[in-house]
Amino acid sequence: MKALRLAGAVVIAGSLLLFSARATATASPTPVSEPCTASALTSQLSHVTSVQSYGCEGDWAYLWATLSVAGNQVSVTELMSDTTGTWSAVSRSTYCHAGSLPDLVYRRACFSN
C-alpha cells in the first residue's frame, strides 16, 4: 500500500513539474527597460538642446530639458514612461495624481512648469 502511495505521489509531482515547465516556456517575455540616461530619455524627443535634470524610478522618469522651438529656447518638464522597452513622454494631466507615480518622479515631474 505504501509503495502505491509513493508511486502516486511521484506521478503527481512529475506531472506538476512538467506542467509548470510548459507554462513557463509559453509565457510572453517582459519588455526590457531602457537604461535611465539622458540620451535614452531624449531619444524620442526632437529639438532638445540641453538636459538640466532627470531621474527614474521603476518604469517612470522625469526630464527637465531645454528645447529649441522656432529659434527660441523653451524649458520643459516631461513625464516619461517605459512600459514597452522605450522611454516616451506621457500626459502629466493623466498621471500626475497623488499615489499614481513613484514619489521622486511625482515631485519632480508634476510640480514644475
Mean pLDDT by 10 residues, the chain (113 residues): 46 43 45 84 93 96 95 95 92 95 96 85
* Predicted pLDDT of residue 32: 63
* Predicted pLDDT of residue 68: 94
Tell me the C-alpha to C-alpha distance, in Å, between residue 96 and each of 41, 62, 82: 19, 11, 16
Distance CA 92, CA 55 (A): 16
* Predicted pLDDT of residue 84: 87
* Predicted pLDDT of residue 113: 75
What are the residue ranges spanned by the domains of the chain? 38-110
Following CA atoms 107, 40, 93, 53 in sequence, which dihedral angle do they give, to the nearest 10 degrees?
30
Q: What are phi and psi of 29, to 5 degrees?
A: -70, 150
Distance CA 16, CA 10 (A): 10
Neighbours of 51 (CB within 10 A): 15
